[in-house]
Amino acid sequence: MTSETAVRESIRKLVEGVQIVGFDWTYLYLNEAAERHARRQGHELIGRRMMECYPGIDQTPMFAALQRVMRGRKSEQFVNDFVYPDGSQGWFELLIEPVPDGVCILSFDIGDKHRTVAQQRQAQTMEPVGLLAGGRAHDFSNVLTLLIPQVIDLNHAVLDLQAMITLLMGDQVRLLIETAPDLGHTRADPGQIEQILMNLVVNARDAMPYGGTVRISTANVRLDEQFALTHIGSAAGDYVALSVEDTGTGISPDILEHVFEPLFTTKGPGRGTGVGLPTVYEIVKQSGGYVAIDTTVGVGTTITTYLPLVAEPLSEAVPRAPLRSVNGNETVLILEADESARELMRKALLPHGYTILEARDVWDALTIACSRSAPIDLLLTDIVMPDMNGPQLAQQIVTMHPNVRVLYVSGVPQASILGSSTVSSRVAFLPKPFAPGALLAGVREALDAGSLS
């Protein structure tokens, strides 16, 4: 073997990819590693121009770097995120060197390292919401934080909440429910599944300020290795899928990359809390699943949760009984700007004996409190509102009704914003959105809290 042949053989077997591209952008040489990186055989590329083999490559930052080296004859080194024709991604460290025939591209595959770093970054980002699932960021009630993993049918969860979801959607939204007749089972806490569904449908509704259609569907799905490769955090396998699709505004790419970050919201003051989708993410993650978002600006969004399929029979119903009766005869003042949400709370509480007073805004609530001589036992209000926040309102009402207790219903997780110690001894918290059972338990817990100070 001649020295030249030995050198060629060594280059062909290098771990690093080696490509030579001519001044006319024609592939002149690829070694074996470069073929793996390109996912093409050398004979498919050599003699053909880059733009012919990979349409659109001339619009990428990588190609711009190739042009600079080709013209300026100075080397460049950088990390490149390469999108293959099938939509999957590869990550490579590239060194581009000028050579007599054009440029030489040395490539080193860092995909595994990149995926690991991305997963670690995502895990670190999501760590602050690790306690949000099940309401554990709020210490108001052991009842709501008790998890009961069971083998369940997602169809039952959807159909059980259909009436309440219909009410939440209002008159401008058309609700479609499509459940798979042969849906498999999954293991999850029924209360957390309710929380997932409520968060997703509220998001869908809010994305359609002028009305539209929300479709809730279930399906059996098999995610393959290719899906797992292109969706960081997912794993190949069999799942049951719960999807919520809307015909709303869609999510722009710059917003999409932040939607699972705690407290990130694009909704206006008093509406967005930034914990809905992070909570969904955390619950699904705890169950060994994955959350995918498919969205087009101006067309709509579909959010799909994939929960692992289990080949087990359904668990016997485990009653989520509260530690005490949820009935009562107290008077509750509900402050909620959203008419459908206010009606939902009223319909949940009235059958259990409570007297309900309803207010649309803080001024309405203050008028009711001022004009009522009989006691108001509980103020049920959001925290972030126009004109006056929840703690400020509570301080006003406690001067008129000294024994009033307060239940904040909000997505805002920081206990620090609950405000003055004047009412802090009688404050409880219920994370939005919630099912009727959670509201009943939260109201009863707030009313039955320890003696007033």
Tell me the longest C-alpha to C-alpha distance in the chain: 105
In this structure, are residues 247 and 212 in contact, taking their beta carbons and an 8 Å threshold?
Answer: yes
Residue 19 has pLDDT above 70, yes or no: yes
Strands (DSSP E) contained in 185-327 are 185-188, 212-223, 237-246, 290-296, 300-310
| DSSP 8-state code for residue 313 | P
- pLDDT of 309 reads 96
CA distance 398 to 27: 78
- Tokens 């509406």, residue located: 271
What the chain holds in terms of domains, given with CATH numbers, is: 3-109 (3.30.450.20), 116-310 (3.30.565.10), 331-447 (3.40.50.2300)
Distances (CA, A) of 160 to 152, 153, 165, 227, 424: 13, 11, 10, 32, 35
CA distance 104 to 22: 9
In this structure, are residues 122 and 40 in contact, taking their beta carbons and an 8 Å threshold?
Answer: no
- pLDDT of 144 reads 32
pLDDT digits (tens, 9 = 90+) for 402-452: 999 999 887 654 443 444 444 455 788 887 767 777 888 889 988 987 544
Instruction: Please report which confidence band the pLDDT of residue 270 belongs to, taking 50, 70 and 90 as the band edges.
Output: very low
Strands (DSSP E) contained in 128-178 are 150-152, 173-178
Instruction: Please report which confidence band the pLDDT of residue 321 belongs to, taking 50, 70 and 90 as the band edges.
Output: very low
Residue 376 has pLDDT above 90, yes or no: yes
In this structure, are residues 22 and 49 in contact, taking their beta carbons and an 8 Å threshold?
Answer: no
Number of other CB atoms surrounding residue 178 within 10 Å:
12
Query: Percentage of the chain surpassing pLDDT 70?
Result: 79
Residue predicted with more confidence, 174 or 116: 174
Helix (H) or strand (E) holding 108: strand 102-109
Task: Measure the CA angle with vertex 108, ends 103 and 112; round to 5°.
Answer: 150
Instruction: Enter the pTM of the model.
Output: 0.53
Helices of type H across 308-420: 339-349, 362-371, 390-400
pLDDT digits (tens, 9 = 90+) for 199-253: 899 889 988 988 899 999 999 999 999 998 888 889 999 999 999 999 999 998 8
In this structure, are residues 306 and 349 in contact, taking their beta carbons and an 8 Å threshold?
Answer: no
> What does the block give as tokens for 24?
């006319």
- pLDDT of 425 reads 58
CA distance 390 to 411: 13
The mean pLDDT value of the chain amounts to 80
Cβ density class 361-373: b for 16+ within 10 Å, e for less = bbeebbebbeeee
CA distance 410 to 382: 5
- pLDDT of 340 reads 72
